[in-house]
Amino acid sequence: MTTTREPAPLHTRTADDVLRCLGSSTTGLSSEAAAAALPATRARAVTNRSSHNGWALLAHQFTSPIMLVLIAATVLSGVLGDWLDATIILVIVLLSGVLDFAQERGAANSMSALLAGTKLQATTFRDGKPLEVDFDAVVPGDVIRVSGGDLLPADAMVLSSHDLELDQAELTGETYPVTKTPGPVPENTAMAERSNLLYSGTHVASGHGTAVVVATGRDTQFGQVSASLTAKRKPTGFERGMTRFGLLLTRIMVVLVVVIFVVNLVLRRPLVDSALFSLSLAVGLTPQLLPAIVGLSLARGARTIAAHHVIVKRLNAIEDFGAMTVLCTDKTGTMTEGLIRLSAPINVLGEPEPRLLATAALNATLQRGLINPMDRAIAQAASAAGLDTNGARAVGEVPYDFQRKLLSVAVASAEPIWPLPHATAMPDAVGSASAVMVTKGAFDAVVLRCAHAVGEDGAVVDLDTMLPEANRTVEHLGAQGVRVLAVAVKEVQDPDIAVEDEAGMTLIGLLTFADPIKEDAAGTIEAFNDAGVAVKMITGDAHPVARHAAGALGLDPEAILTGTELDGIGEEELPSRAASTDVFCETSPAHKHRIIEALGRAGHTVGYMGDGINDAPALKAADVGISVQGAADVAAESASLVMTEKDLGVLRQAMLAGRATFANTMKYIQMTTSANVGNMISMAVASVVLPFLPLLAAQILVINLLTDLPATAIATDRVDAKQLAHPQRWDLRLIRNYMLVFGVLSSCFDLFTFWILRAGFHSGEQEFQAAWFLGSVLTEVLVLFSLRTRGPLWRSKPSRILVLLGALVAALAFLLTLTPVGALLRLSIPPLNLVGLIVAVAVAYVAANEAIKALFWRVPSHRHPGARGKTSIG
């Protein structure tokens, strides 16, 4: 039996091997070979699948269990002859579905945005000659020429390079351009550090070179990102909760219909009447206004969140925003300022050396080559310090290259280049020569060409005496994630300098560069932790950089995983490992996506903040995808929320607004379902013990309409501060317990009212119905003010509109029962002493709810459903 060996990873193979496998050479493909490969290549192209069928998308809005329950309730209401109720439910369902359809329709342009920026041309070699071809005509095996500013059309392996640097920020999130050179790299090298590979969608920062195309379309790293965007978006945490809630109601309704139907048959009630009665009670269980309440809450929440500079693209994301337990974010520009800055000019001992800046600025500003980010940082620091060239001019230059890793500039100046008191003692440095060569570059490369160094008090000494201290300084800075360049000087007689002149130099100091942590970042992370949200950093930066940033941000620098380590963790183990990790570094887009999904499987509602192409899969996989204005188009389209300014503090305020929206939605669900359960139990018992119906169908409909009116104002209600202090998540056990506890309490008072009316007042049918009509409305309105807060009702101030609507409904209830208007509903006017008793029962009911509520919320599992600890979420 033979076994097929897996090919070695691409980055570990030689260019000759890859060219041979692709049937190519360093001079490229023939025109015939390229034409033959083109159909298969275009078949693997990234295609725009965003043109979803509109009717299918609209129909999808009505497939959730809660929507199906309400549609079933509509049909049953029609069957029972209650066309007004059926029409109301149907209108609410249709409006809710159309609103969701309108929100999701806009997401269908993600792929168009992704492809819009890639309609360009590339320089390939066909038949040994350069040829400009469209990006979609590039095939594997093509040899392409790239230079500064070019966008890469495909993934490619470097064949030759000269000062070639790739800006991979869009794909990997790295702040600094990455040097690209030919030659295989070790297998465990992170994607961001694979120096022999170029990636589609990134661009050349500097230099030029040639490369052989190894992957196009969906097979590229960029293509894998785009493929993830065409996949169906997973349901958000709130949508999953609504689904489970709908299934819970369905189960209860089925049990209820069967039990009540059987009981009525046992009591020898007519078969048809028994069936219709049990079905009508099942319809009564449905929270008919739920889609409308959710819609109102989300719309109000969107306006509130917009006031905190966050634009809501998907309304359902607001609920998940409030339920968020983990926030994953990139580092660059979110926790840091997103700019390379010169941290400090220092001597080799690590002590500040401000005079070094003027000398380094001559090298950075007078050079004639391509200005890189660190040159710009030096120039900006010099400008901020009020330094200029003072008439100095470049008279010679040895350009930077990646073999030497140096840049040397010969400078002529009337002013001393290195104004130290011991200048005359500096051997081969500054004197009467025609120019001074200022060299800047990688520490090891500069030191290799130096003979002396400036030590304590500016004294010039042999390099060997200072080298151990200099190495320790550089190692210490490297451990902090700081980039280090060395600066050296040398007196030259001939300004036409060459590489050979870069010897016998004097090391005068070090320049340190960093992307500074934002001043308020650590405090904001702590505030998120205090609010029950664990913040995790996901970055493409190297381990030392990420580790240092973690310490500065208050994250655990030991709780860190690299992309390579992630690759070695199985899917079963990853959720627990991801939950206990604060920092993920050296990550690819696939890693980010995997992390987000693992945290979701660990039971967390996950938010992800990012703005690059590399962030798009993670943004789509998260419960709450958060991007920023000015982000890559595909990232912004994949996100659910877009911030107008990249500030975690602003995001936290918007999150609290999301929690208030979620809390108000839960208020309606808990109060309505418990009231409905109570009413169903009461009606079922009354149908057995009373010689007449406790309420007529028209009376029940008017009660539902009146008591639903204040509920529409729940979206405007204030939320207790304690509820905003922790994530509020769907908890079906809590909802079930709430329904049973407060539903049974409601039934107890209903049954007590029945007994008073029949045994104490001997009420007939119309008087009984009038009294219970008034009692039903008053108890539901009054208990609304009790159950809307978890604390004592007198300590929590409801919204003004809620109070006004509650008072209006109570007044209408008295109007219908105490005036001849009630005759329209076949209600007789009850005696005033009976009215007084009903009011007393309603007040007693509210008092009982206050007492039971205090006990209910004292149970630990009910205090903060879904809340997590401050920092440990594993």
Q: Residue 302: pLDDT band by 50, 70, 90 thresholds? A: confident
Catalytic entry in 163, 219, 330, 717: 330
Higher pLDDT, 822 or 205: 822
The answer to whether the CB of 389 falls within 8 A of the CB of 513 is no
Angle at 346 between CA 341 and CA 351, to 5 degrees: 130
Q: What is the pLDDT of residues 497-514, one digit of tens each?
A: 889 999 999 999 999 988
- At residue 119, the pLDDT reads 47
Beta carbons within 8 Å of 303's beta carbon, 6+ residues apart: none
Distances (CA, A) of 256 to 64, 136, 250, 315, 810: 21, 62, 10, 34, 31
Q: What does the alpha-carbon distance between residue 711 and residue 713 come to, in Å, rounded to a whole number? A: 5
* 851, pLDDT greater than 90: yes
Alpha helices by DSSP H, listed for 153-236, are 169-172, 221-230
Q: What does the alpha-carbon distance between residue 563 and residue 547 come to, in Å, rounded to a whole number? A: 14
CB neighbours of residue 129 within 10 Å: 10
Segment 7-17 mean pLDDT: 86
The answer to whether the CB of 612 falls within 8 A of the CB of 588 is no
Segment 5-17 mean pLDDT: 82
The answer to whether the CB of 432 falls within 8 A of the CB of 406 is no
- Choose among 103, 58, 49, 368: nearest CA to 232: 49
Segment 770-783 mean pLDDT: 88
Q: Which of 250-264, 380-394, 481-495, 549-563 has the lowest mean pLDDT?
A: 250-264
- At residue 506, the pLDDT reads 93
- At residue 3, the pLDDT reads 47
- At residue 449, the pLDDT reads 93
Q: What is the pLDDT of residues 520-544, one digit of tens each?
A: 888 888 989 998 999 999 887 778 8
- At residue 873, the pLDDT reads 30
Q: Is the dihedral of CA 465, 470, 473, 476 positive or negative?
A: negative
DSSP run (H or E) holding 817: helix 800-818
Segment 127-138 mean pLDDT: 87
* Strand, coil or helix: 739: helix
Segment 60-85 mean pLDDT: 61
Q: Which of 107-111, 842-846, 860-864 has the lowest mean pLDDT?
A: 107-111
* 158, pLDDT greater than 90: yes
The answer to whether the CB of 742 falls within 8 A of the CB of 852 is yes
Q: Residue 822: pLDDT band by 50, 70, 90 thresholds? A: confident
Segment 727-755 mean pLDDT: 86
Q: Is 388 labeled as catalytic in the residue annotation?
A: no
Distances (CA, A) of 88 to 67, 91, 401, 812: 14, 5, 75, 20
* 874, pLDDT greater than 50: no
Per the structure block, which two tokens stand in for 601?
């499987």
Token look-up 């008087």 returns 767
